[in-house]
Amino acid sequence: MNIASALIREARFVSYDRVFLGWLLVVFLFAAAAIGSGLAETQHQNETIQHLVEADQRDRASEYSKQGDWGSAAYYSFHFTYDPPSDFAYAAMGQRDAVPWKHRLRMLALEGQIYEHDAGNPELALIGRFDFAFFVSFVVPLVLIFLLHDTQASERVAGRFDLLVATTGTDGFLWWTRVFLRSGGIIVATILPLIFAGSLNDTSFSTLISAIGYVIVYLVFWTIVCIWFSSWRRSAPVILSALIGVWVLLGTIVPAGGRVFIDRIVPVPSGSEILLTQREAVNDAWDLPVETTMTAFFERHAEWKGYTKTGDGFDWAWFYAFQQVGDQETERLSVAYSKGRRERDRLAGLLSLASPPALLERSLQRLAQTDSAASLVYETEVRQFHLALRKFYYPRLFREEPFNVETFTKLPQFSPAS
Amino acid sequence: MGNSEKLRADQLQIIRSGKEVLSGISFCVDSGEVYALLGGNGAGKSTTLLSFLGFLPPSGGSIYIKGVEVRSNIKAARRAIAYLPESASLYEHLDAYENLRYFLQLAEMPFDKHRIEATLDRVLLASDSRTQRLQNYSKGMRQKVAIALAILRDTEILLLDEPTSGLDPSAIDEFHNLVRDLADSGKTVLMVTHDVYGACQVADRLGLLRAGKLVGEFTAPAGQRIETEAVHRAFSSRHAK
Ligand SMILES: Nc1ncnc2c1ncn2[C@@H]1O[C@H](COP(=O)(O)OP(=O)(O)OP(=O)(O)O)[C@@H](O)[C@H]1O
Ligand SMILES: [Mg+2]
């Protein structure tokens, strides 16, 4: 059979199908809306970052000019760290909705600052954002199911099935052309807004091509599932129910059940637990003997061992020492937290092999650098930057160098890796 | 027999959903012949046509199209046949031309506007309704489009399942003339009907099917039609039994 003429014939036939054309438009508009909302969100985040970056230097400079010693300069100044959205984040917001992508750090104990906003956006964390990744992973398959399930059943009901097959002479080819034209239309309506947004936003070519490839493979997978079920000699409602059952199983039961299971077998301390432990450790330090704190501090910083607190009043070096000891005391929890998150993410990755919708969502989030791995990279950057701050201040505090505003030109600057 | 034989069922046995629907029927139709298959509801008439199209594999016996076992080359068998299904419904949202164009393309045939107009004239479909969607058609009008499609396919063999259902008397008469013309031009027609009188008018041979068995065959004497009375008697007596 001549494939080209069959495609032309079916394309012409499909063009008379108003219901299908309506769905095509709906899918296009929803894809565009999902991408539009992602673009608005990333633009908002970029503006916030730009605004805070501009304020960062200025605020610190004005703070330093008011201070006369290293300790108060460190105490009153903020350092802006951030994880800018990637050139594809608009399509898959992923972890950016759940974990912070910016921190204004101080020289105080770090752990509390990192986990302060751990709760993120609870509503979004619960239902997920209506972004492009969500739309393609969960909504578009439903549209395909709805459009394709009765490809054959509707012809049987109308009494046309035998005539159609007898006229073409072959069984399968007609249905494959019909189904692939429809699903091809839906795929194009889905990725058109993506291509448009991608070229407007200078999304890297390889990212865009990969994303489009993933989406096509994924929707072809659903198309084949639909073809398979639609050739079943059952009534349309039966086929529809079965396909929706598959969707519910792959799209919700497997990922949600899997998440519950993973959360149970990989316990992770909560962010607020870390926050509280660290705050308590720091608060208690005020009442502890200075030696207790300093001994704990010198275990990590033997180089300042010679330092002794002068006078019985307040001492900045001791203050920052007990801030660090606060971090040291939560270290075990914090390491467990990162390890646990990594392990959960690894298992979720394995699990997603059994859930194509979850797999696509994860793949798009990886491309968008909005996955768990990316958020852990940012966390590591924050830790390294905070460590650099301590390396800058500790010699000046412990050697009691004379205060000099000029020295702040040597202050470490945060710059995001991505 | 000979190479003019187009359709042949040989001890054909068909089982559908565990029930024996055809129990070893045998008949053949030559080219230029009209064979009418008569029988009550559920006798197995439609089943016979479907098995010639290769939809129902025989559990016993065999079926041949142009001397070739159907299941050995289903596509070739179907290509040689124009099929008019029992409840012929074309696409409701398309008009007569669009429907014919679609189904002809499906059969990889060209869309010849003149032939189509001539055929629609022949089946007496009013010309002002041809550009209307089939959803605005009466049952008989739809049947006319479906008949036109079968004729336009221009195949050697026509399998027609209750072709006159829904047609008005003048359309039925015209249809019978049409079928005769087709046969006279060398086509082979196997048609299923409940209309004893019509069948006798048009058929060269007539088979009486009852509960999956061919219980009688009538052949028109040379230059004459089959005698309606005899068929009627056979039909009703078999039913009365
Ligand atoms: N799709 C089917 N599945 C199973 N059995 C069927 C199916 N269609 C028909 N049958 C059975 O096959 C038998 C013959 O049916 P068929 O449709 O061939 O009858 P028919 O002679 O065409 O009757 P009618 O005059 O009502 O059209 C019937 O007894 C019916 O129960
Ligand atoms: Mg029938």
Q: Which of B205, B112, B106 is nearest to B152 (CA)?
A: B112
- Report how far residue A218's alpha carbon sits from residue A250's, in angstroms, rounded to the nearest whole number: 13
Q: Each residue of B159-168: pLDDT tens digit?
A: 999 999 999 9
Q: Which of A159, A155, A151 is nearest to A243 (CA)?
A: A151
Note whether residue B8 is domain-resident. Answer: yes
Q: Residue with structure tokens 């068909």?
A: B14
User: What is the domain extent for residue B201?
Assistant: 1-80+190-241
Left if phi > 0, otherwise alpha if psi is -120 to 50, otherwise beta: which for A275? alpha
Q: Each residue of A255-298: pLDDT tens digit?
A: 999 999 999 999 998 888 888 888 888 888 888 888 888 888 98
Number of independent structural domains in chain B: 1
Reported as type and span, the H/E element at residue B219 is strand B213-219
Asked if B20 and B212 count as a contact pair (C-beta separation under 8 A), the reply is yes
Cβ(B18) to ligand 1 under 6 A?
no
Residue partners of A276: CB distance under 8 A and separation at least 6: none
- Report how far residue A119's alpha carbon sits from residue A272's, in angstroms, rounded to the nearest whole number: 8
- Report how far residue B128's alpha carbon sits from residue B168's, in angstroms, rounded to the nearest whole number: 18
* Share of residues in chain B with pLDDT > 70 (%): 97
Test the A interface: residue of B98, B101, B103, B106 with most A CBs within 10 Å = B106
ipTM: 0.94
Cβ(B17) to ligand 1 under 6 A?
yes
Q: In the structure encoding, which two tokens stand for residue B68, read together?
A: 């070739």
Q: Which of A375, A384, A334, A366 is nearest to A101 (CA)?
A: A375
- Report how far residue B118's alpha carbon sits from residue B128's, in angstroms, rounded to the nearest whole number: 14
Ligand 1: which residue has its CA nearest to atom 29?
Answer: B42
- Report how far residue A81's alpha carbon sits from residue A231's, in angstroms, rounded to the nearest whole number: 56
Asked if A86 and A368 count as a contact pair (C-beta separation under 8 A), the reply is yes
Highest mean pLDDT among A109-113, A306-310, A334-338, B26-30: B26-30
Note whether residue B212 is domain-resident. Answer: yes
Is B95's pLDDT higher than 50?
Answer: yes
Within 8 A of A170 by CB-CB distance, chain B residues are: 75
- Report how far residue B185's alpha carbon sits from residue B45's, in angstroms, rounded to the nearest whole number: 25
Q: Does the beta carbon of B105 lie under 8 angstroms from any beta carbon of chain A?
A: yes
Q: Which of B8, B43, B53 is nearest to B23 (CA)?
A: B43
Using the mean position of ligand 1's atoms as its centre, give its distance from the Cα of residue B21 in Å.
Answer: 7
* Burial call B192-225: b when 16+ CB within 10 Å, e when fewer: bbebbebbbbbbbbbbbbbebebbbebebeeeee
Average pLDDT of span A117-137: 73
The DSSP 8-state label assigned to residue B81 in this structure reads E
Tell me which of B47, B53, B165, B196 to substitute to probe ligand 1's pocket, judged by most ligand atoms within 8 Å of the beta carbon: B47
Asked if A401 and A361 count as a contact pair (C-beta separation under 8 A), the reply is no
Chain A closest CA to B61's CA: distance in Å?
22
Half-sphere exposure (Cβ direction) of B172: Cα atoms closer than 13 Å = 15
**Ligand 1: which atom is nearest the Cα of residue B44?**
18
Cβ(B45) to ligand 1 under 6 A?
yes
Per domain, the residue ranges of chain A are 1-418
Assign residue B57 the CATH number of its domain.
3.40.50.300
Q: Each residue of A193-230: pLDDT tens digit?
A: 999 999 999 999 999 999 999 999 999 999 999 999 99
Q: Each residue of B115-144: pLDDT tens digit?
A: 999 999 999 999 999 999 999 999 999 999
Reported as type and span, the H/E element at residue B68 is strand B68-69
Note whether residue B12 is domain-resident. Answer: yes
Is B240's pLDDT higher than 60?
Answer: no
Res A119: pLDDT: 45
Note whether residue B62 is domain-resident. Answer: yes
Q: In the structure encoding, which two tokens stand for residue A27, read together?
A: 């899918």
Q: Residue with structure tokens 């079916």?
A: A10
Note whether residue B86 is domain-resident. Answer: no
- Write a three-state SS string for B136-177: HCCHHHHHHHHHHHHHHCCCCEEEEECCCCCCCHHHHHHHHH
